[in-house]
Amino acid sequence: MSQPNARTSLFRRCLAATAAVALTAVGALAASSAAADDTAAEDTKLAVYVEVNSNDLANVADYRLADSGKPAVDLAVIFAANINYDGEKAYLHFNERVTETLQDAENQIRPLQAQGTKVLLSVLGNHQGAGFANFPSYAEADAFAAELADAVTTYGLDGIDFDDEWSQYGANGTPQPNAQSFGWVASALRDRLGPDKLITLYAIGPSYTATDFGAFDVSATLDYAWNPYYPTYDAPTVPGLDDRSRIGAAAIDLSNTSAATAADFAQRTAADGYGVYVAYNLTSTNQASLISGITEAIKGEATVYSPQ
């Protein structure tokens, strides 16, 4: 793909006295910076998208931190279900491979969750005019949120990731985006899921660019929002989600990004205090070398590859 790009298949003094004060300030700043880096190393999440059309989600379990044995991947995202349109309303659609992944939860999902990795379902537009940004009423947004919540409950998932690509708003007579729609569907989903499940925003499309984020409680609704363009370091701006620990600035494609770039983005993530690092396209091949450059910076440990 061309670079950068969004995903296609489908987380920046009298002299002596003044000198003494300055040295003290520098020391305090350094200590503060070190503390921030320590926090980032402990708390920063690695979110990884898996194209289940061509790879097993279970491959995520093959990567562990070298010293602690903890999972290298904190958030594993099934890519992707779709928001489709039946001529009258939006509905949740699973293709054959997504269906197989969800129905094989004992092998594809539970092993990841048992080791501490959260599993989310990404939901993506499908060129049919239906999207998260063009629900004309709260009731219709809530009806779709009910389908999402049912999927989370039925398959024992840890949350939903919203990806507003390829919706093709206006197709099949569907309405154009409005400023309230995404807030409606995300808030309705939060109400149905409760506070313990995750809701994330892949910050692209009208759900990001056209939404009135002042119209709903963003902080209570969304857990994370992250950069969708690979490979770039560019934090999204989501009003109401101002805590950097809930933002991802770094985004890479594991199959099309150099180790040097991946590691540089990770170092910047830790230094800047962002809470998520996003990687796309984990495959069945050994990608531990690239992932190590990331986890060494954001978690303080290398990653080892140990096929299950």
* Residue 193 backbone dihedrals phi, psi, to 5 degrees: -85, -25
Q: In 10 A of CB 160, how many CB atoms?
A: 26
User: How far apart, in Å, are the Cα atoms of 277 and each of 62, 94, 226, 291?
Assistant: 19, 27, 8, 11
Catalytic member of 51, 165, 296, 301: 165
* d(C-alpha 39, C-alpha 275), whole Å: 10
Q: Is 165 marked active-site?
A: yes
Q: Which residues are catalytic?
A: 165
